[in-house]
Structure formats: C-alpha cells, structure tokens
Amino acid sequence: MKPIITASELLSESVGPRPPVLLDVRWQLGGPPGLPEYEAGHIPGAVYVDLDTELAGPPGAGGRHPLPDVTAFGATMRRAGVSADTPVVVYDGGLGWGAARAWWLLRWTGHTDVRVLDGGLAAWTGELSKEIPRPEPGDFTPVPGSHGLLDADGAAALARTGLLLDARAAERYRGDVEPIDRVGGHIPGAVSAPTTENVDEAGRFLPAEALAARFSALGAADGTDVAVYCGSGVSGAHEVLALEIAGVPAALYAGSWSEWSADPTRPVAKGPDPR
C-alpha cells in the first residue's frame, strides 16, 4: 500500500464502506497552534491532534520533540477513534511535516494502514466542517518496533557505515546559520538532503521514480542502511516518508540535531563536506 493518498482518493474512500479515521495535525515550527485553524474549518470527521503535546514528549535531554510516552500516545489515538484494523489518513496544512510525524509514530508503534494526504488540506477540494466530532473510542494499542528508530550513538555509527541523511535546510547543515539550536553544523558523515526537495511547488511528493533517483544519487544503493535526522524529528519523518515512496526503507534519529548539538561532547562538522 502506498503511504500517501490523493485528495480525490480520500473523497471516494470517505463515502465508501470502510471510511478512514482522519487526523488533523496542523502545525508550524514556532507556532501559532493549529487548533484555531482546525476549529475554523477541517475535513469532515477529522479529529485534531496536537503535535507539540500529543505527538511529542516535553522538551529536554531528548531534544525539542522527543518521542511521546507510548501509553499516552495510545490513549490519544484511541480517543481519535483509531483501532488496529481501521485505515487512518493524516493531514496537515500542506507542508506535510506534522502529518508525517503522526504517520511515522503510528507505523513505528505497529499500525499497518496509515497514509498521509498528499499536499495536505490545501489539496482538499471537498467541503470543510466546523463540527467537532466525537468518535467512538478505538482499540489501538501501540507496540514500538525493534527497528526504524536510532539514538545518537546509532546515528553516529550509521553515518560511518551507511547513509545518514540530514533533512534540514542546506545552510543549517553547513553551519552558516543556526536559528534554533546551540551550534550549527551537522553530524560528521551525514549527507545534506533538504526535505523541501522531495516535493513540488504545491507541496505534493515527487513521483516515486524521481524520488528514487534523488536518493540513489545521494548514496542510497541496494543493501545500504539508510537513516534520517533533522532539527527535532519532525521534518525528518517527512523524509522517511519520501524514502518509503521511493522504495527505500529508512530509520529515524528522532532526537535529531536538537539532541545531538545540546551535548558538547559530540563532534560537529561544518561546511558542505559530510566529514
């Protein structure tokens, strides 16, 4: 099953015999919160999920968006009506980062039927609703996977033995600017791969063939272990999604640069060269 769905496909499935559970994860780095936008109009039936408080734990040693407590995440998903056997479609305002974070968490914790609305709410041509749904609670119980997630040591090791992609903007990778974290630069050995280059002008993912060619050129050859990091594990999830579209399995270093750079004992590389 493709990890993304078009707006026309979603419209058709929504009136079909097995409509998906819809999650609205509108979010912007630094705010404002997405809830007021959701309340002003959302895809009918969609339940709002807050990225900062429900798809992440409190900021701290694990970075700006550490993984949420698994038990709390499960409660959030059940409140939204997610069950183990129900299809789920996640969307955001169009950037795709928030939706990808929810997609990755659901996949990592064992849900097998979750997709992201390609292009987000901006691609939706159907009606919007201000009605706040109260779905029947679901039965989804998250079971974190044994693969697909790296810690800082794992990311450092994979940068030496496989392909570690840095999904942030190129200027942050080089260390030219760093508007958020303690220091600029990148994990030694990581390859610059801005997530913005995975989508077109409308925010929709490039065709699978184009994405496969992009990642192949970056070093994602057959048999190579691939992982992604970003600033805090949000846009990195979007790149993991792009890699999946391209047919390349990839792990996520969820703590990402916000965790790595907070530890002064970890090495930092600067400039365009990975090392």
The H or E element that residue 164 is part of is strand 163-166
Q: What whole-number distance in Å separates Cα of residue 227 and Cα of residue 243?
A: 10
Q: Which of 90, 226, 230, 243 is catalytic?
A: 230
Q: How many CA atoms lie within 13 A of 193 on its CB side?
A: 31
Q: What whole-number distance in Å separates Cα of residue 227 and Cα of residue 248?
A: 10
Q: Quickly list H helices, 119-207.
A: 152-161, 170-174
Distances (CA, A) of 45 to 12, 24, 42, 105: 14, 10, 8, 21
Is 90 in a helix, a strand, or coil?
strand
Q: Catalytic: 230?
A: yes
Are 100 and 124 in contact, with CB atoms under 8 Å apart? Answer: no
Q: What whole-number distance in Å separates Cα of residue 164 and Cα of residue 144?
A: 22
Active site residues per annotation: 230
